[in-house]
Structure 1
Amino acid sequence: MSHPLLPVNPDGFVLAKDVRASGRQGTLDTQRRHAGLVAVRRGVYVDRARSERATPLERHRDRAIAAGLQRRAPVFAGFTAAVLHGLPVVGGVPHEIFLLAGGTSGRRRNGVVEIARTGLETLTEVEGRAIVGVVDAVIDVAKRMPLLTALVMADAALQIPRYGVDRPRSTPEELRTAYETRLPFPSSRAVRAVIDRAVTDAETPIETLSRFRFEELGIPEPQRQVALALPRLGRVVHLDFAWPELGVWGEADGAVKYTADSNAARVVREEKLREDEIRAVTQWRCARWGWRDAWEGTPLRDILARAGVRTEGGRAHAIAPLRASRAG
C-alpha cells in the first residue's frame, strides 16, 4: 500500500471526506501528484497497483461501490446488481453503473444509470449492500445488453446444482412470472428471447455459448447433460451434449483443467480413460472444443462437422461479431 498515512475504508478506498476529517489533505495531494492514488470517482481513490491489475469486472465493481458511497441509500440494479450477485459475464462490460431510481422516472448522469422503479422489484442484500433480486437483475440485463450476455446470466441464475447441495438462485417459473407481471414494457421481446432460451442444466458459460452458436449455425439441437453409466470405472458421467441419432457426443471444455495441487499426468490419464470408456459403451465419436472455438463459431462448426454433426438444411447463419471475450 503506497499511502499508509491515509485512512482506508473496508473496501480499500481512500475517501476525500475522511482525509479532510483526519487533517491529511496534504498527504492525499502528494499521493495524487505522484500517481500513487487514482480516482475511481470524484473523491474516491484506490491504490494505483490495485487499479492496474483489476479485471474489467473488478473495475466495474469498484466504480459501483464508489458510486454507492456518494449516495444516501443506494440500491444496485441491472447489470451492476447481476455482477454483485456473482453471475458470470460474457461480452463487454459497460462503463456505466446501474442503480434503482428513487421514483418512477429514470435518468443517466455522471456515469450512473438510474433505472425507474416499477414497484414490482424484489430487494435483497449482498455483503451489506441493498440490491435488486436476481430475477430483476436478469430482466434488466436482457432489456439492455446483448442476448448472449443476458442468456449466460439467466442460465447461471436458473441452474439447478446436480447434487442438490445448493438451491438454484431462481426458477424458470419465477422468471417468467416476473416478466409477465411487468408487461407491457419496452424491450419486452428481447427479454422474452432470453427467457425462451434459458435452461436449468447449463453448468458453465461455455455450455451456454455453445448452445447460442448451435442456434446461429443451424446445428441440430442436442440432448444435454446425458447421464451415462461407465461400468469399468464404476461411476456415472454426464455428457455436456449428445446427438445419439448421429453417434456423437460433445465436450464443451476443450482442455483438461489443472489445479495447483493436481498431477497433470494423472489428470490427463483419467480423462483419457473416461473418454475411451464412453466410446466403448456408446460407440459414439467425441467432439471436443474450447472457448475460442465456440467464441469464433466457425472452428466449432468445423469440429462438429468432422465428428458428423452438420448444419441442418443449409440454414447456418452468419456468426455475430462480439465486442469482447469472457469478462469473468
Structure 2
Amino acid sequence: MDTRTTRELLAEGHSSEYLRRAVEQGNLVRVRRGAYAASASPDARQRHRQLIDATLPGLRDAVLSHHSAAVVHGIELPHAVPSRVQVIRTRSSKGGGQRNGVVHTRMVRLPPEDIECVDGLVVTSRARTVVDLARGMGFDAAVILLDAALRDPAGQGKESTKYRAAIEAVIRRCGRVPGIKMARDALAFADGRAESPLESRSRLMMWRHHLPMPVLQREVLDRNGHLLARLDFAWEEEMLYGECDGQVKYGVLLAEGQTPSGAVMQEKRRANDLAALGWREIRWDDHDVRYPTVLCRRIEDALRRGIPDAA
C-alpha cells in the first residue's frame, strides 16, 4: 500500500477506530498526521520519501528542494536526512521562510531552468539541489556531496563533464547569495572520479596534511595490454598505490555470485599481479581515516621508500 490519507481510508469504509487499532497492532504506520503507510521502511531516505508523498499534495506552488530534492534525485548525502520536508515557494522573492513540525519552507525566486519534474514531483534540478545543499555545508561535507554528484552514472571511475557544467551554470546564476563561495570552492576541489565517501575523505585528509596529491582511478594494463586494475589512488613516480576498503566492499558491492572470501582471494591475486609490474601497495579503511596523522605518516613513509635517493 502506498501512502494514504485518513480521508481516503475513511472513504474506503475504514473507521477511525480501525485506523487507531491498526497503528497499535503494527498493521499501519502513521507517516504524519492524517497519512498512513503499510509499513515503515528501514531506510531513512525511503521514510523521507513517504513523508514527501504524504505532505506534498497539501502544498501549493511548492518545489521540493535541498535534502528532499536530493532524495527524489537519488543524490548521495554526507549527512542524515532531516525530519522535515524541504520546499521552496516561488511566489515571493523575499528572503526567509517558515518551519513547522513537518515542512521547512524557503521563499526564493527560482529560474525555470532550475526546476524539473521527477517521478511526477516538482523539484529543484539536480544541479540546483547540489548547489543549495553545498552552500549550507562545511567544506568537507560539500566536497563529499559534490564528488558523488559529479560521478559519471556509467561508472568506470569517470567524472561527468555534463554534471560539472550544469553545477557551474547554477553557481553563476546564483550570483552573490549566501554560501555561494563555499559551493564554488568545494566544486573546485571536487572530483567525480572518487567512488565513495571514504575516498573523498581520504583525499581531503591528504590535502590538509600537505601530501603529494595522487592520480585517481589510475588504470594499469597487464603485459598483454589488458586492463588489470583501476587504482583508487596512485603516486606514479613512486610506483605506490593506495586502496580504500570500506565496510561495504566485501558486502553489498560484491559481484553477483561472488562470496566475501572469493573477493578477498581476487584482491590478493590482483595485488600480486601489480607487484610483478613494480607497484607497491598501501591500504586503509574507515577506522584509519579517523586517525589522519598516523595514516598520513604511513603514506609519507611509503612514498619515501619509493624514491631511490631516500632508500
TM-score band by shorter chain is 0.7 to 0.9
Q: Could you tell me the percent identity over the aligned residues?
A: 26
Of 268, 280, 284, which aligns to 1:285? 280
> Secondary structure of the equivalent of 1:100?
strand
> Secondary structure of the equivalent of 2:63?
coil
Query: How much does 1:250 deviate?
Result: 0.7
Of 13, 19, 38, which aligns to 1:28? 19
Map 1:115-264 onto structure 2 (within 5 A). Answer: 115-120=106-111, 121-160=113-152, 168=160, 170-231=162-223, 234-253=226-245, 256-257=250-251, 258-259=254-255, 261-264=257-260
| Aligned residues between the structures | 296
Q: Which moved more, 1:253-262 or 1:96-105?
A: 253-262
Letter in 2 for 1:67: T
Q: Is 1:294 aligned to residue 273 of structure 2?
A: no
Map 1:257-272 onto structure 2 (within 5 A). Answer: 257=251, 258-259=254-255, 261-272=257-268
Query: Equivalent residue for 2:6?
Result: 16
TM-superposition CA deviations, 1:217-245 (whole Å, max 9, x none): 33321111212111269424221111223
Letter in 1 for 2:122: A
Distance in 2 of aligned mates of 1:34 and 1:169: 51
Please give the TM-score of this superposition, normalised by the length of structure 2. Answer: 0.82
Gaps of 5+ in 2: 306-311
Q: Is 1:81 aligned to residue 64 of structure 2?
A: no
Distance in 1 of aligned mates of 2:137 and 2:205: 18
The structure-2 alpha-carbon separation of the partners of 1:154 and 1:253, relative to structure 1 and needing over 3 Å to count, comes to: same
8 Å contact kept, 1:226–1:239: yes
> Secondary structure of the equivalent of 1:242?
strand
Query: Equivalent residue for 1:94?
Result: 82
Query: Equivalent residue for 2:32?
Result: 41
Letter in 2 for 1:83: V
Gaps of 5+ in 1: 1-7, 311-328
The structure-2 alpha-carbon separation of the partners of 1:65 and 1:80, relative to structure 1 and needing over 3 Å to count, comes to: same
Distance in 2 of aligned mates of 1:66 and 1:31: 18
Query: How much does 1:302 deviate?
Result: 5.2
Please give the TM-score of this superposition, normalised by the length of structure 1. Answer: 0.78
Query: Equivalent residue for 2:302?
Result: 307
8 Å contact kept, 2:240–2:302: yes
The structure-2 alpha-carbon separation of the partners of 1:260 and 1:234, relative to structure 1 and needing over 3 Å to count, comes to: closer
8 Å contact kept, 1:220–1:309: no
Query: Equivalent residue for 1:60?
Result: 48
Distance in 2 of aligned mates of 1:63 and 1:284: 50
After superposition, the CA RMSD in angstroms is 3.0
Query: Equivalent residue for 1:315?
Result: none
Query: How much does 1:179 deviate?
Result: 0.6
Query: How much does 1:181 deviate?
Result: 2.0
Distance in 1 of aligned mates of 2:4 and 2:79: 31
8 Å contact kept, 1:77–1:115: no
Q: Is 1:70 aligned to residue 66 of structure 2?
A: no
Letter in 1 for 2:44: P
